[in-house]
Structure 1
Amino acid sequence: MNSIIANSVRNSSIDETLGSISDAAIEASFGDSGTIIAKYFYGMSQTAKGKKVMTVEEFIESLNDSVRYAYDAISHPQEGTILTVMREWGSYLKRERNKHLTFDKLINASLHYAYEVLDKTKTLLKVLSEADVVDAGAKGFVCFIEGFYSFMTSGTLSDKNISRVERIDHEKISHSIKHLNFKFCTEMTVEGIGADVQNIERLVDGYGDSSIVNRYNDQIKIHVHTDRPHQLASELSEIGKITYSKVDNMKIQQDIVHNRKYKIALLTDTIADLPDEYIEENQIYTIPLIMIHNGSVYLDKYTTNATTIFNTLKQSSDYPKSSQPNEKFIEKSMKFLLEHYDEVIGITISSKMSGTYERMMQAAQKLSVDGKRIEIIDSSLNSGAEGLLAKHAMDMIKSGLDYDDIVDKLYKTKKDISIFVKIPDLNYAAKSGRVPKVAGMVAASLGIKPMISIDKDGNGTVLKEFNIKKLIIRMANERKIEEYVIVHTDNLQKAKELTEHAEKLLGFPPLYIESVSSIVSAFIGKGAYGIAFREAGNV
């Protein structure tokens, strides 16, 4: 609602005012309830088309007509949710209109009725009944009615919390694993789809549950709980352009809320290559960077992966571009963590390669709260090297080390981590700007398969040394390697060969073999493989 207030514009025409509110609601909609609210306001804007003003009767009729739009927003509508309160409130206004002398008295009476309906939602859904709480979306709509009545009687908007609705204790709602059929809450906005909405609904329904498909003019907004967001994105990009994506890992969110393991939260971006199982087991919150390709927007590791991007590149001459994470998503993620932790440590890709560090720093400063601490660390690394720093942070968190000590050690440890990657050629890296274009042209003309690394300042660099196996031999003789990982871009065979070589020299296996993020993969090309290791430091 705050986004709607901030981004909508009041006009002398009811048509334009409701149109502005509808646009703001659509833009800001998140989750089931947000989508339903957006569709509700969209319905109101449609009934107001061509009108400068509305009578009270027309306004009430508009509210009731909008309920149909709200129900149509959900593939499988359920009573006991926001939908129930919307329907009952509209029906009450229509039924009781002639019993009240003024509109404000009617709204006041309807508000008290809405409180009663809200309380009854506890009995309509099993999960709410078991937890003895009302539906959060339904509560939000009643708060909207409260605000509507307050504005009618005072003429002003107030930040003061005037709600009489009981505060929902989210800890009481046991969204345990048995209630979670799919892992990812996925939302996408797609433009240019000519197909009928029902065909898109059938497509989305096949990917999971809680599916919502709505058309707003030339846009289709999609919401679904699924385990395969990257496959859904791949299908949708074939029939339209994905202009917006958001994916939340509900399992990690759920575990943090109900089964939090550690007192300090770890936040990182998707450039840090860590196994999915490790991320979930340790409740690590990840922020996806954005990839833009052929006009569609993808979320690194969520709605695209290395295999998908290489298949796409085969069929297109358009070269993908990367972008910083969505600012609103960063803030939303940090707010969530600060609700459940007093201390958060964030580790980002090198600031010389991305603006992610700056964006996360800005969000952390904006959300600064007394008694809460967020430290955002520029790793000056990427890929498996950044993953090693994040893994080291988690090791210290698990050991119970003090927050300040962990932060201090991480700034020192990042200097002890290196990465070396053998790539097929420098064409991809040169196109991305990670290495000079001249270097790419020279390497290509000589048929050289170079090795790249990251210098002490966090910049990508091309090494004079080309033999990665000889480099490992030299490193094994000169340095004490504490732990290492093997990474690759769709080249598991070479990764396994390198693992065998490294294990023989170092005397112990890698922590893991991991496919590189889709963004880094696109920039260094298919077939790359490498090693990242952490030396034993003095911390």
Structure 2
Amino acid sequence: MESRIIDYKELLFAFQQGAIQLINEKQELNQINVFPVSDGDTGSNLASLMQTILEETKSETSSVVEVFEKIAEASLLGARGNSGIIFAQYFNGIYNNLLLQEEKNSVSSFVKSVKLAIGEAYQAIANPVEGTIITVMRSWAEALNENGQRGSLEELLPNALVKASEALENTTKQLKILQKNQVVDAGAKGFYVFIEGFTQAFINKETVVTKIVDFDDSIKIEISESLHQNTSEPTYRYCTEILLDQVTESKREIQEKLKLLGDSMVVAMSRNKARIHIHSNQPDQVLSYLSTIGQPIQQKADDMLLQYQVNTQKKAPIALVTDSIADLPADYVLNNQIHVLPMNILIGNTSYIDKITIQSNQFFDINKTEDERATSSQPTLKSVENLLSFLETRYESILVITVAESLSGTFHTVQKAAEHMTSTTTKIEVIDSKQNSAAQGLLVMSANEWIQAGLSFDEIVERTKNKRGQLKILVSVDDLNPMIDSGRIPQFAGKIAKKINLKPIVSLNKEGEGKLSDFAFSLKGNERKIIHQLKKLHEKNKIKRYAVIHANSEERAIQWKNKLSEQLGLKPSYVMDISTVVAMSAGQGSVAVAVEMDKEEL
């Protein structure tokens, strides 16, 4: 009989082979993904997890326990999606139980830990559903333990793989949504593909996967086009995930607190870290609670409702993309299927997602308690590539309208991501709006109307570039410090205005750079000057539409709306809070008006 001690090198090799095999199957897993929602990203999410495991296990390892420790840690860091977080809890459960065994490198301890970890995986899920990944995990673990933990892994693994295969095929009968679409569960198949590669590597002792993923290539979270029409609109809009460090509450306490905020909840925990997954309409409340019991170090919130609508009722062959600095009503963005790249805001040690896990009115309350100035950052290159990868499978062309290049690096990041999409036949155009806030929003609104009218892509691009000169934004600022500190206006002029207590009108020049355009000695005087300027503009060029935006100053914004409606004979298209990123530099109490003219201002 072969030795019943596990060779740690063989164990690590088997994990890596299982990971590579799963990565290579990601597209098929995406295509069969219909549960719990048909968002077509299970394969990509699991591939991202496996990529993290591959990266974190490249360094030297010296024992079976160390192999599992690295895999457990990597899985919490790299887990994405419902199935990914269940995977992560299972791997952490195996590691936790292995630490309790006397012989930590024996086959007996391994198969015992594999079975005990099933309990931890079940506990991670708020409402476990049979016919999913958890069912196949349990069948595999129980099969490994059938022989009373006797024998080598080479003897035990093949039978367990057969039992897992049978459990996988049976998932189609266990869930109505799988039966309707005649598919197995995508997460369950992901686990099976992994243990198939794991098993073959243990038995053959050699590389069995022909396609090896380059460890230096990051896995894009591509969301494939759904092949399944027998799906329903998601109950909750955002697939929200947060990785916490220094967690002070138990898994059960977290589940109890979050259960009223959504469904499909999975909480994976290990060594003071927790990865939380929940489908919710209130990701800001989810993060607000979790910030009180730990330190958020990663987060994401995917718009499942928008993905579903694009999959089932796409409005146009051209995708329209902007960033979260463009101030447009949330309902307008969703109803017109506009894709938004969110900015990131760092307050203290916590990072937030603009307009999703933080709103501008919340920002001022949170920021009061911090000594350091809040900072913002553009979307990451990977997040932009992920969105473009999703859009290229569904649209003929993609138009991206970014905040002014002079105010943010977003334009260059999106351009770089578009250049990486060299294999696509989808046209991609990235336009610097030379605007921000609602002026950028009005430009997006114009582009959307041309898309809905059926104009050609090239004509829309040309019109959008020309339209930039017909937009203007005027901002009334009470406190100049935030704009001076953020570099949004010239420091010398700003400091002089502040010293003599002038209230300037802030606007943008033709390149999108901040400038001080006029001054008053009071906010009332400032307001009169802005309304006078807009009245003259309307007489000269005719204002087509305008929007009023504010930084936690709704009452003042409503007053402006009423006065402008009377003076211009035209109601605003919308009144709303500005984005958190703009609020950071404009300061609390600021109010602005963005206008679109019928012809370019001379």
Mapped to 1, the partners of 2:397 and 2:303 lie a distance apart of: 21
Matched, 1:159 2:211: yes
Q: Residue 60 of structure 1 aligns to a residue in which SS?
A: helix
Root-mean-square deviation (Å):
2.6
Q: Summarize the Cα distance change of 1:79–1:381 in structure 2 as closer, same or farther, 3 Å threshold.
A: same
Letter aligned with residue 66 of structure 1 = A
Matched, 1:79 2:110: no
| Per-residue Cα deviation, 1:445-494 (whole angstroms, up to 9, x for no partner) | 32222211111112122223542111112211332322222211122222
| Per-residue Cα deviation, 1:246-271 (whole angstroms, up to 9, x for no partner) | 11121111111122121111121111
Deviation at 1:235, TM superposition (A): 2.9
Matched, 1:6 2:58: no
Q: Summarize the Cα distance change of 1:150–1:260 in structure 2 as closer, same or farther, 3 Å threshold.
A: farther
Matched, 1:126 2:182: no
- Extract unaligned runs of 5+ from structure 1: 162-167
Mapped to 1, the partners of 2:496 and 2:290 lie a distance apart of: 39
Partner of 1:114: 164
Partner of 1:286: 340
CA contact (8 A) 2:347 2:370 kept: no
Q: Residue 320 of structure 2 aligns to a residue in which SS?
A: strand
Letter aligned with residue 143 of structure 2 = Y
Q: Residue 539 of structure 2 aligns to a residue in which SS?
A: helix
The farther-off stretch of 90-99 and 457-466 is 90-99
Q: Residue 340 of structure 1 aligns to a residue in which SS?
A: coil
CA contact (8 A) 2:405 2:412 kept: yes
Deviation at 1:330, TM superposition (A): 2.6
Within a 5 Å distance, the mapping from 1:119-268 to structure 2 comes to 119-152=169-202, 153=204, 154-155=206-207, 157-159=209-211, 170-172=226-228, 174-177=230-233, 180-268=234-322
Mapped to 1, the partners of 2:272 and 2:514 lie a distance apart of: 42
The farther-off stretch of 83-92 and 503-512 is 503-512
Q: Summarize the Cα distance change of 1:392–1:68 in structure 2 as closer, same or farther, 3 Å threshold.
A: same
Mapped to 1, the partners of 2:249 and 2:159 lie a distance apart of: 45
Sequence identity percentage:
32
Aligned match for 1:472, one of 527, 534, 551: 534
Deviation at 1:322, TM superposition (A): 0.7
The farther-off stretch of 28-37 and 453-462 is 453-462
Q: Residue 257 of structure 1 aligns to a residue in which SS?
A: helix
Within a 5 Å distance, the mapping from 1:332-347 to structure 2 comes to 332-347=386-401
Q: Summarize the Cα distance change of 1:127–1:236 in structure 2 as closer, same or farther, 3 Å threshold.
A: same
Letter aligned with residue 197 of structure 1 = K
Mapped to 1, the partners of 2:505 and 2:310 lie a distance apart of: 40
Letter aligned with residue 189 of structure 1 = L
Within a 5 Å distance, the mapping from 1:294-373 to structure 2 comes to 294-373=348-427
| Per-residue Cα deviation, 1:222-264 (whole angstroms, up to 9, x for no partner) | 2212111112322333343322221112111111112212111
Matched, 1:39 2:99: no
CA contact (8 A) 1:486 1:532 kept: yes
Within a 5 Å distance, the mapping from 1:84-95 to structure 2 comes to 84-95=135-146
Partner of 2:114: 63
Q: Summarize the Cα distance change of 1:207–1:503 in structure 2 as closer, same or farther, 3 Å threshold.
A: same
Partner of 2:15: none
Deviation at 1:360, TM superposition (A): 2.1
Q: Summarize the Cα distance change of 1:159–1:374 in structure 2 as closer, same or farther, 3 Å threshold.
A: farther
Deviation at 1:427, TM superposition (A): 1.0
Mapped to 1, the partners of 2:424 and 2:515 lie a distance apart of: 41
Q: Residue 473 of structure 2 aligns to a residue in which SS?
A: strand
| Per-residue Cα deviation, 1:133-158 (whole angstroms, up to 9, x for no partner) | 22111111112123223434332544
Mapped to 2, the partners of 1:104 and 1:334 lie a distance apart of: 44
* Greater RCO, CA 8 A, separation 6+: 2
Mapped to 2, the partners of 1:169 and 1:407 lie a distance apart of: 26
Mapped to 2, the partners of 1:44 and 1:330 lie a distance apart of: 35
Q: Residue 266 of structure 1 aligns to a residue in which SS?
A: strand
CA contact (8 A) 1:476 1:505 kept: no
CA contact (8 A) 2:306 2:334 kept: yes
Deviation at 1:335, TM superposition (A): 2.0
What is the count of residue pairs matched by the alignment?
529
Q: Summarize the Cα distance change of 1:323–1:475 in structure 2 as closer, same or farther, 3 Å threshold.
A: same
Mapped to 1, the partners of 2:171 and 2:248 lie a distance apart of: 38
| Per-residue Cα deviation, 1:344-395 (whole angstroms, up to 9, x for no partner) | 2112112222222222222222233332232222222110011111111111
The farther-off stretch of 447-456 and 151-160 is 151-160
Deviation at 1:396, TM superposition (A): 1.2
Mapped to 2, the partners of 1:270 and 1:17 lie a distance apart of: 41
Letter aligned with residue 2 of structure 1 = Q
CA contact (8 A) 1:393 1:406 kept: yes
Q: Summarize the Cα distance change of 1:469–1:169 in structure 2 as closer, same or farther, 3 Å threshold.
A: closer
Deviation at 1:111, TM superposition (A): 3.2
The farther-off stretch of 49-58 and 521-530 is 49-58
Mapped to 1, the partners of 2:133 and 2:273 lie a distance apart of: 24
Deviation at 1:21, TM superposition (A): 2.1
- Extract unaligned runs of 5+ from structure 2: 1-49, 214-223, 520-525
Deviation at 1:511, TM superposition (A): 1.6
Partner of 1:506: 568
Deviation at 1:96, TM superposition (A): 5.8
Q: Summarize the Cα distance change of 1:92–1:447 in structure 2 as closer, same or farther, 3 Å threshold.
A: same
Deviation at 1:98, TM superposition (A): 8.5
Matched, 1:22 2:76: no
Partner of 1:165: none
Deviation at 1:428, TM superposition (A): 1.3
| Per-residue Cα deviation, 1:123-179 (whole angstroms, up to 9, x for no partner) | 222222232222111111112123223434332544389xxxxxx9833154322xx
Q: Residue 170 of structure 1 aligns to a residue in which SS?
A: coil
CA contact (8 A) 1:187 1:222 kept: yes
Letter aligned with residue 377 of structure 1 = I
Q: Residue 271 of structure 1 aligns to a residue in which SS?
A: coil
Q: Residue 327 of structure 2 aligns to a residue in which SS?
A: coil
Partner of 1:164: none
Deviation at 1:504, TM superposition (A): 3.4
Within a 5 Å distance, the mapping from 1:383-462 to structure 2 comes to 383-462=437-516
Q: Residue 447 of structure 1 aligns to a residue in which SS?
A: coil
CA contact (8 A) 1:486 1:510 kept: yes
Partner of 1:483: 545
Mapped to 1, the partners of 2:517 and 2:301 lie a distance apart of: 37
**TM-score by structure 1 length?**
0.91
CA contact (8 A) 1:14 1:51 kept: no
Letter aligned with residue 53 of structure 2 = I
The farther-off stretch of 33-42 and 342-351 is 342-351
Q: Summarize the Cα distance change of 1:128–1:513 in structure 2 as closer, same or farther, 3 Å threshold.
A: same
